[in-house]
Each structure stands twice: as structure tokens, then as C-alpha cells.
Amino acid sequence: MATLAVAHRPQPFTAGYYARLFRKETQYEILKMLRTRMFSISVIGFPVMFYLLFGATNRHSDYARYLLAGYSCFGAVSACLFGMGMGIALERAQGWMELKQASPLPRLAYLGAKTISCALFGLITTAVLLVLGITMGGVHLHAAETARLFLVVFAGSLPFCAMGLLIALIVPANSAPGMINLINLPMSFASGLWMPIDILPHWLQRIAPALPMYHFAQIALRIFGFARPGSALPHWEALAGFTCVMLGIAWVVFTRSEARS
Amino acid sequence: MSATSVLPDRAREMRPSAAPHGTPAARLHAVTKRYGQNTALDGLSLHLYPGEVVALLGPNGAGKTTAVRLLLGLISPTAGSVRVMGRDPRDSDARTRIGAMLQVTRVPEMLRVREHIDLFRSYYPHPLPAAEIVRIAKLEGLEERMFGRLSGGQKQRVLFGLALCGNPDLVFLDEPTVGMDIESRRSLWDEIRALSASGKTVLLTTHYLEEADMLASRIVVVNKGKVICEGTPAQIKHRVSGRRIRCVTQLEPGFLRSLPTVADVQQDREAVVVTAEHPESVVREMLLRDPGLHSLEVSAAALEDAFLALTATDSHQPNAAPQSQPHS
């Protein structure tokens, strides 16, 4: 076939190249997170421990079902905030990100791989909680409910990955863990992830709708019939809006720091 | 340090040596980079031609790393232009043709050497085979080792290997042998020579003068964000004329300074160091005048002397605190 003579190598960026690059980046990101015990044990371990303490001890009760959804959300949020927030902050501080930036790896692939890896950790936590709930908590679930829970946890991870990204950009690496705990723990509590929101003080119940985790929890609780009355749509909208705000601020912060550097 | 008063003014007016011709693989043209009040690069121009090993030599804070970061498209210049392979360095097509070894404080430790290589290879459309990278970076037997379990020199070698994953035409090595023992340093030097022999262009930053002397086909001396001079290692060494005579003698420094062709006299502990154009005649005279003269040594000016003389031109205080270089 007659083609124009090209001075150097042919256009190399094929779809296969991108697919392979993204697969490898995700694969090794997951492997790295799994092997970093501090991360994997705490992110999966805390919700599991809490569920054993508060959920599985209340066998066959609504509580065991409610907390299955609540701690699944908590696990997903922790994985996203720590995975993105700490992971990116550290790689930035240590110069490792510069080496990646100097390579042809697209930024979106870098962020996408981290997002998927964090979301996967949320799914792992959910799976462990489901096994515990079914075996020890006496929870009955249909296959469809199980599938919906996984889907909600996966989709609900994205806003919190966006939040983790923003944290990574504005909080120094060494203070990121403290900062994340400071955001994560009170917010999880106030959003009704640890105990039914209806037994929380009234003033807390009133501010809960301002928290993104509340909307995430409401969507997950709906699967088990514990959600507050109303449609799920506003909750999805709230999460989508929150994601946009987080990404927007992250974009501004990042371009500013780039202009300064 | 004392040998710094050698011909400071000549250093300033030196002409750059004739650079190789052709289309440059990369160039900085009149680039200025400011961080707030701080000027890291001040109208610096640098051309890299295919197949060259260029050493960017300078004290800490001279702007070496800033120049590399500009060429990698990690930062953009305040003024001036940066081109790599005739393109913007941020262009992904340019990035597939370069490789970089940067000063990374920590690399993810929970991946094996083999995995790091596999990952970086996937970033490039036409990577080198993994076995080839292992061979070039001398990582045989370490493939299954976690990165965190490697010694400092081994880590540097992995970073070197990662820089070569994409089979680049242009390689940036920012202080590549920092923290290496002499043996691994020498073996890395061999690899850098091999890269250059295979036609790749290498830009090396270093403050090890010996390294620049051993590797570079051209040395560019920078200080305070400016190119002070450039040339082959031999040319740079010739900037400091004369050779050094070191001996213990009773002769007065004032008298020594009056001898023909003596450019400089310095006291070094119990000995005296005389820099002279014609050391033979100076030594002859000294031996005649002082029969007790002993511990005599005559040596060619080292690259280090040239370097110190060149970088000290702006101030006569070689020990003045180097200008601190801000990081992003």
C-alpha cells in the first residue's frame, strides 16, 4: 500500500496501546495497595471490625441489615479518601509523580487507574461484609439486592475519589492521614453510617443532608428499605453535583500550582 | 578552598566552543525561569545535538535541575522557548522519544523490580524488551526483589532502567550517580557511554567533576542560571592555564610570585601551591634557591580547578552560600 513517507515512526497511539497502558497501571496500582498493609488492613479491617462488633452481634435484626449498608459505604469512602488522598499526596511529595508526568502516561489514565483501584477496595470490603452479614448476622439478601449494593458502592466511590484528589492537592503529604480521619470519621457518623440516622440528635439530622456521605448512605440504605421517604434521584444529583464541585476545585488548584511551579 | 582566584575575568569572556551542527534534539532558547523573586535561569540557551553526551555542570542552585525540568515539560519558562525533537516538550509524541532519570526521593516500594519495568514499558508504544532493560541496567537476579529491599545503588540502577524503557532517542539523567559507590558509579558510566555509542543523546547533570570529565563530549558550566562557558572537557581544563607545583619550601610567597609565568601562589597547610605556565623553569629556580625544598609534586590543572575558577567569577568568595534553589 502506498503511503506517504514519514520521517520517523508511525503514529503509535492506538486504542490497543491505551488499553494496555490503562490495564497495567490499574493492575499495579491494586497490587501496590494490597501489599501496603497499612492501607489494605486498615481500610478493609476497620469497617469489618465495626461490623463484627455492632452488626453481627445483633443477629437477625434490622440493625444487622442497616449496618451492612452503612459500613459498606464507610469502607468505600475510607478507601477512596486514603487511596487517593494519601496515595497522590505521597507520590507528589516524593517526586515519583514527576517521573510519571515526564513519561507519555496520560494524566487521565493515572487518575482513572487510582479511582478504579480505590473503588475496588470498597467492593472488597462490601464483599467481606456481605459474607459476615449472611453467615453471622443472619441477613437475607436476594441476588438482585447484592448486585445493586455492589453497583451503588462502586458508583458512590467516584465522588469520594474526587474529594480524595482535592485533599491530595491541598493538604501536605505528612498531614494527609490526620486530615482525612478528621473529615471521614465525623462525617460518617453524622451521615448515619454507623448507627441509624433517626436516633442521632435532631440538629445532626438537620445538617446531614449537607454531607455527601449522607446521600451515598441513603442510596445504599434504599436497597434494604431503610432510606428516608422520597425518591433516590435527588441523592444521585447531590453526589453528581458534589463530584463536579470537587473536580472543579481540584482543577483550579492544580492549574494554579502548575502555573506557579 | 584557595585556587579560585585563577583568571576570573578570562572565564567570563570565553567564547562558547564550536558546537556540533545539525538539527538539535532539544534546545532551550534564551530561557528565563523565575520563582517569585528568585531567578533560577537567566536567559539560558542550550542546544543538544544527536549523539552527544552533554554534562550540565554547576554548583547547587545553579539551575541544572530547572533546565532538565523545563526540557521535560514539567514546568514552563517565564520567557524563552523550549523544544524537544522540534516539538513542545509536553507533546506526548515528544514524550515517547525521551527518557528521564530524576532525583526521586522515594519510589513505590511495594512493587518488584520486574513489575516496575513492566509498568513503565506499557507507557511507551515501542518499548525495549524487558530482558534488554534488565541487562543494560545490570539488574540480573534482582527482578523479583521488592523495590524497598534494594540498596541505594540498586535503586538508582532501577531508575536508570526505567529511563530506558521507551527506547528513547534522548535521555535526561539528573544527578544519576548520587549515593552510588565507586563500583556501581563506574558501571553506570559504562552504560551511559554505551547509550551514546548507540546514537542516543544524553543530557547529564552532575556536580561530580570527574563524572563530567569521564563521560561528556561537551561540558556546559552553569552558575546562577547562566551558561558560563562550554566546551570539551579538555577545553574546559585549558581555561585554567598552567600546572600546579606543590612543595614545602622556605621561599617567601612574594618572591615566588615574582618568578616568570607564575599566575598564583597559595598556602596549603605546610606546603605552598604555585600555579605557573612554565613549571619547569619555576621549579629549577626554586630548587636553586632552596636546597631544603621537599615533597615536590607537579600536576596538571584538574577539571575541578577550572570549575572552581569558572563558577567563582561572580564573587571572589568560593565558600559563599550557594543561592538556594526553590522547588516547585
Q: Give the tens place of pLDDT for each residue, B226-240.
A: 998 888 888 877 766
Asked whether residue A34 is assigned to any structural domain, the reply reads yes
pLDDT tops 90 at residue B7:
no
- Residues above pLDDT 70, as percent of chain B: 85
- Nearest Cα residue to B223 out of B306, B303, B314: B314
Grid coordinates given for A172 = 501536605
Asked whether residue A188 is assigned to any structural domain, the reply reads yes
One-letter amino acid for residue B281 of the chain: S
B96, B102, B110 member nearest A32 (Cβ) = B110
Nearest CA in chain B to A34: B110
pLDDT of residue B120: 95
Nearest CA in chain A to B71: A102
pLDDT of residue B302: 66
Q: How far apart are CA B88 and CA B97, in angstroms?
A: 12
Q: How far is CA B125 from CA A15, A18, A252, B83, in A?
A: 11, 9, 31, 21
Place of cell 471490625: A49
A31/B115 Cβ within 8 A: yes
Residue A218's φ and ψ, nearest 5 degrees, are: -60, -40
Please state the pTM of the whole predicted model: 0.81
Asked whether residue A61 is assigned to any structural domain, the reply reads yes
**DSSP H or E stretch at residue A34:** helix A15-35
User: pLDDT tier at B14 (50, 70, 90 boundaries)?
Assistant: very low
A14, A24, A95 member nearest B118 (Cβ) = A24
Q: Sign of dihedral through CA atoms B220, B221, B226, B227?
A: negative
Q: Is A14 on the interface with B (CB under 8 A)?
A: yes
| Sheet of B226-231, strands arranged across | B98-101, B170-174, B201-206, B53-57, B218-223, B226-231
Q: How far apart are CA B8 and CA B277, in angstroms?
A: 16
pLDDT tops 50 at residue A204:
yes
Asked whether residue A8 is assigned to any structural domain, the reply reads no
Residue A194's φ and ψ, nearest 5 degrees, are: -100, -25
Of the segments A75-84, B10-19, B277-286, which one has the largest average pLDDT value?
A: A75-84
Residues of chain A in contact with residue B82, where contact means CB-CB under 8 angstroms, are none
Q: Which of B60-64, B256-260, B315-319 has the lowest mean pLDDT?
A: B315-319
Domain ranges, residue A138: 18-260
pLDDT of residue B316: 40
B27: Cα within 13 Å, side-chain hemisphere: 16
Q: What is the pLDDT of residues B72-114, one digit of tens each?
A: 999 999 999 999 998 999 988 899 999 999 988 788 889 999 9
Asked whether residue A154 is assigned to any structural domain, the reply reads yes
Q: Is A18 on the interface with B (CB under 8 A)?
A: no
Q: What is the pLDDT of residues A23-46, one digit of tens each?
A: 999 999 999 999 999 899 999 999
Q: Is A106 on the interface with B (CB under 8 A)?
A: yes
B324: Cα within 13 Å, side-chain hemisphere: 4
Asked whether residue A11 is assigned to any structural domain, the reply reads no
Asked whether residue A6 is assigned to any structural domain, the reply reads no
Interface of B to A at Cβ within 8 Å reads 35, 69, 72-75, 92, 95-96, 98, 100, 102-108, 110-111, 115, 118-120, 122-126, 159, 162, 166, 328
B23 CB-near residues (< 8 Å, 6+ apart): B49, B50, B86
Q: So what's the ipTM on this one?
A: 0.87
A112: Cα within 13 Å, side-chain hemisphere: 12
3 state DSSP class of B222:
strand
Asked whether residue A118 is assigned to any structural domain, the reply reads yes
- Å between A32 CA and nearest CA of chain B: 6
pLDDT tops 50 at residue A226:
yes
Grid coordinates given for A151 = 453497583
Total domains, chain A: 1
Stretch B12-41: mean pLDDT, rounded? 74
